[in-house]
């Protein structure tokens, strides 16, 4: 079995933003030469998430609005009591971002069949930024033959 590791670098936008990373993953699969196996996609950050869904602009707006209602940025969170924590005083108040990231999850494992991600017609692998703007990294590990 072949194993190939890659890192995808992204610069993100302010607040919640969603990035289609299918093309970048598929490029790494082609470079690896793996035709059958799986890809593990993992965010390297606690305030981003990896998810699979339809990349439709109105749905993405619905998602942002939903999370704003479910876990409002202005909520009272203990994590945001920066003065009580052992951290830099300029640490951002981002508890809402951590909570949303935990709800969505940080990784996906996707089959590779005939050299392509085995996804449904409308499915897209997305990085969800919850605390930008920031420089972000996504790990792509491709395993197979």
Domain boundaries defined on the chain: 2-72+94-144
Instruction: Report the candidate in 1, 124, 13, 131 with the shortest Cα–Cα distance to residue 59.
Output: 124
Helices (H) and strands (E) in the chain, counts: 3, 8
Q: What is the pTM of this model?
A: 0.94
Q: Superfamily for 2-72+94-144? A: YjbQ-like (2.60.120.460)
Q: What is the pLDDT of residue 89?
A: 84
Q: What is the pLDDT of residue 102?
A: 98
Digit-coded pLDDT (tens) for 76-102:
999 999 988 988 888 899 999 999 999
Locate the DSSP E strands across the chain. Answer: 2-11, 15-20, 36-43, 48-53, 107-113, 116-117, 124-132, 135-144
Digit-coded pLDDT (tens) for 6-58:
999 999 999 899 999 999 999 999 999 999 999 999 999 999 999 999 999 99
Neighbours of 82 (CB within 10 A): 13
Instruction: Report the candidate in 86, 116, 88 with the shortest Cα–Cα distance to residue 23.
Output: 116
């Amino acid at each position: 079995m072949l194993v190939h590791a890659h890192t995808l670098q992204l610069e993100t936008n302010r607040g919640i933003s969603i990035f289609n990373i299918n093309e970048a993953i598929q490029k790494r699969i082609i470079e690896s030469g793996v035709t059958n196996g799986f890809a593990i996609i993992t965010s390297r950050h606690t305030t981003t998430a990896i998810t699979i869904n339809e990349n439709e602009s109105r749905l993405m707006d619905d998602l942002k609005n939903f999370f704003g209602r479910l876990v409002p940025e202005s909520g009272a969170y203990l994590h945001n009591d920066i003065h009580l924590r052992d951290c830099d005083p300029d640490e951002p108040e981002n508890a809402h971002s951590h909570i949303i990231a935990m709800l969505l999850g940080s990784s996906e494992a996707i089959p590779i069949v005939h050299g392509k991600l085995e996804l449904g017609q409308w499915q897209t692998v997305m990085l969800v930024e919850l605390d930008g703007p920031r420089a972000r990294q996504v790990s792509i590990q491709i395993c197979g033959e």
